[in-house]
Amino acid sequence: MEKRVLKLGIDVGSTTLKMVVLDSVDNIIYRSYIRHKGDVSGVFVAELDKIMRQFSNAYFIVMITGSAGMGIAERIQIPFAQEVVAAVAVIKKYCPQAKTLIDLGGEDSKMVFFEDGKQPDIRMNGSCAGGTGAFIDQMADLMNITIEELGNLALQGKKVYPVASRCGVFAKTDVQNLISRNISTADIALSILHAVALQSITTLARGCTIGSPMICIGGPLTFLPALRRTFQDILKLEENKFILPENSEYFPALGCALLNSDRYFDLQQIINKIKTKEVHRTDTLPALFGSETEYRQWKENRNVKHLNIRTGSTSPLQSESNLFLGIDSGSTTTKILIIDENENIVFTFYAPNQGNPLKKVAEGLQKFEKQFGGDKVMERIVSSCSTGYGEELIQSAFNLDYGIVETVAHFTGAQYIDPNVSFILDIGGQDMKSIFVSNGVISRIELNEACSSGCGSFLQNFAATMNLSLQNFTEMACLAKYPADLGTRCTVFMNSKVKQSLREDASIGDIAAGLAYSVVKNCLFKVLKINNLNSLGNNIVVQGGTFRNDAVYRAIELLSEKNVSSTDMPEMMGALGAGLYAKNRYKAQN
């Protein structure tokens, strides 16, 4: 039987893979939309195999597009089309009345202006992805809801609050502030989508008149009606002038199928090329460890102070010691630590805020009360202190004695680890701080401002993207042989660099190790702008939950070539500092 010819259009984006198959008269006979979670080649091969089995008696005219599609096209020698060109091809065929096209993707955004007799005017986002699908993903994660739930909540929202969409991670501060003020989740969700729409319009239009009808495409606009409504409201467009066309999420893939070429492909040959093609890595960094044995020995011998917790016969209930409470209410987590008069730790609590820091503090204190015998043990807490993002809120809500800024808390905690500390680096969920110490006194403090591309969320988001737990992510990074050099870029936008490394056949471990390097490089050189590592002194103390990651700890050792120390609970150091401060103030007054 003679084989028929079908047209296959492929769009490999930063987060998703889309494929469209057309018959000889351009009817869609197959389509798929899949999140690849970083495994571009694996998902690509699986989807081609599915199409090949479904259309076994066919040759295919193939064209590919997308941010990750170019590398695949180069590797296996199939035609490539720029994704805006592909989308415009669909507009010309099915939506010739359009005056403007808006396309939001996983980490990019585009706007195209059409004018009779002229070439389309194409605008794209630059080095920041703070108004795209990845931004919405991260905000939904912060609120502990799904993207769909965020969209549904936004439809119920009544009031828009300021949320600066300047950075996909740093904007969490604005959302966290709304959460701590008990603003309704519906209004917060609406405010997030409003920020996305406003960011897209202001950065893409750049003074150009947005004409109607306006066609909207891409996953976020397709799957979030609330986002479309927000665009309509800001642009003051009637519903019939802001159009969601059929197959809007597939437009670049559909455009590739329409553009086609005169080259026929057997899909099995493409699959074989992807599986066997050799790729030479161009940018690699030194391995974090030379072998698994070296890694295990390092874990046993590194300079980590153990914060032992008293239990059993030395529990608070069976001793007469006064107790001192320290609470670190961070942007994403709550930490509680209680010490006795001898600075022994008797209780710790660590939990994600899940959008409600007050509830988490209450939960932690209730756990302490229940664990150690009820109301009487609470009476033994003679001094208390809060620090962190929610310092004032927590102090007021729980009637604590003191509140101190984070830098003082972390300095106090660092001196507990190393009295001769010369430099403190604290990396939290979305913020970072560096403290320079001279002769036992703080001499300089540097904080991140408008960027957080070296924070804990940086790694957490990528681990989730690759469908890995942080523990597995860390293990793979430490054992990687050829860490990818990912440079220092925006937390969200670095996806493109990751995808490039994956296209060059980097392993997930190589990516994980490269990200650990990038966290430290971003933090020291890009965000905190430290240009002389000798200014750090010889006694570095690292703090914050990010340093539970062995790969990040090792990266700062290798990059700084300094003595680095920490504790087995680096995420608790702010709370420890607050507890020590409460104790010292109590002793000074009694």
Query: How would you list the strands of the sheet with 381-387, edge to edge?
Result: 345-352, 333-340, 323-329, 381-387, 402-403
The CATH number of 292-305+418-571 is which of 3.30.420.40, 1.10.760.10, 3.40.50.970, 3.90.550.10? Answer: 3.30.420.40
How much is the average pLDDT of 180-195?
Answer: 90
In order of 290, 384, 551, the CA distances from 483 in angstroms are 12, 45, 11
Res 489: pLDDT:
60
Q: How many CB atoms lie within 10 A of CB 539?
A: 20
Spatial distance between the Cα atoms of 291 and 478, rounded to a whole number of angstroms = 9
User: Do residues 325 and 383 touch, judged by C-beta distance below 8 A?
Assistant: yes
List Cβ neighbours of 537 (8 Å cut-off, separation of 6 or more): 422, 423, 436, 437, 562
Reported residue count of the chain is 590
Residue type, 543: Q
pLDDT per residue over 525-541, tens digit each?
A: 776 677 778 888 889 99
Alpha-carbon gap, residue 281 to 317, rounded angstroms: 60
CA distance 138 to 172: 8
The Cα–Cα gap between 477 and 288 comes to 8
**pLDDT for the residue numbered 1:** 56
Asked whether 424 and 537 are in contact (CB, 8 A), the reply is no
Q: Give mean pLDDT, residues 16-37.
A: 91
pLDDT of 427 = 84
CA torsion through residues 506, 508, 509, 515, sign: positive
Kindly state the average pLDDT of the residues 350-365: 88
Please give the order of strands across the beta sheet that includes 214-217: 121-124, 109-113, 100-104, 214-217, 242-243
More confident residue, 13 or 168: 13
Q: State the sign of the Cα–Cα–Cα–Cα dihedral 504, 474, 492, 445.
A: negative
pLDDT at position 448: 66
Query: What pLDDT does 554 receive?
Result: 94
Q: Are 492 and 521 in contact (CB under 8 A)?
A: no
Tokens of 370: 């229940």
Residue 312: predicted pLDDT: 42
φ, ψ of residue 15 to 5 degrees: the values are -130, -20
Most confident stretch, 170-179, 208-217, 440-449, 454-463: 208-217
pLDDT of residue 452 exceeding 70, the answer is: no
* Alpha-carbon distances, residue 451 vs 168, 338, 497, 526 (angstroms): 9, 33, 18, 9
Q: What is the pLDDT of residue 54?
A: 93
| DSSP code, position 319 | S
Average pLDDT over residues 153-181: 78
Amino acid of residue 436: F
Domains 96-244 and 312-414+577-589 are alike in CATH topology? yes
Residue 390 · residue 309 · CB < 8 Å:
no
> What would the mean pLDDT of 217-224 be, rounded to a whole number?
90
% helix, strand, coil for the chain, step of 5: 45, 20, 35
CATH fold of 96-244 reads Nucleotidyltransferase; domain 5 (3.30.420)
Q: In whole angstroms, give the CA distance from residue 153 to residue 483.
A: 41
Give the C-alpha separation, 67 to 498, whole Å: 11
Query: What is the assigned CATH class of domain 312-414+577-589?
Result: alpha beta
* Confidence at 513, pLDDT banded by 50, 70, 90: very high
The CATH number that domain 4-82+254-276 falls under is: 3.30.420.40
Helices (H), strands (E): how many in the chain? 22, 21
Joined together, the tokens standing for residue 209 give 């008149």
First to last CA, the chain: 97
Residue 104 backbone phi and psi in degrees, to 5: -110, 125
38-40-42-47 Cα dihedral, nearest 10 degrees: 130
Q: Is the pLDDT of residue 263 over 90?
A: no
Q: What is the pTM of this model?
A: 0.62
DSSP state of 524: I
Helix axes 550-560, 470-479, angle to 10 degrees: 40
Return the half-sphere exposure (C-beta side, CA atoms, 13 A cut-off) of residue 112.
21
Write the Ramachandran bin of 218: left for phi over 0, alpha for psi from -120 to 50, otherwise beta: left
| Domain ranges within the chain, ordered by starting residue | 4-82+254-276, 96-244, 292-305+418-571, 312-414+577-589
Question: Two tokens at 24?
Answer: 């000889």
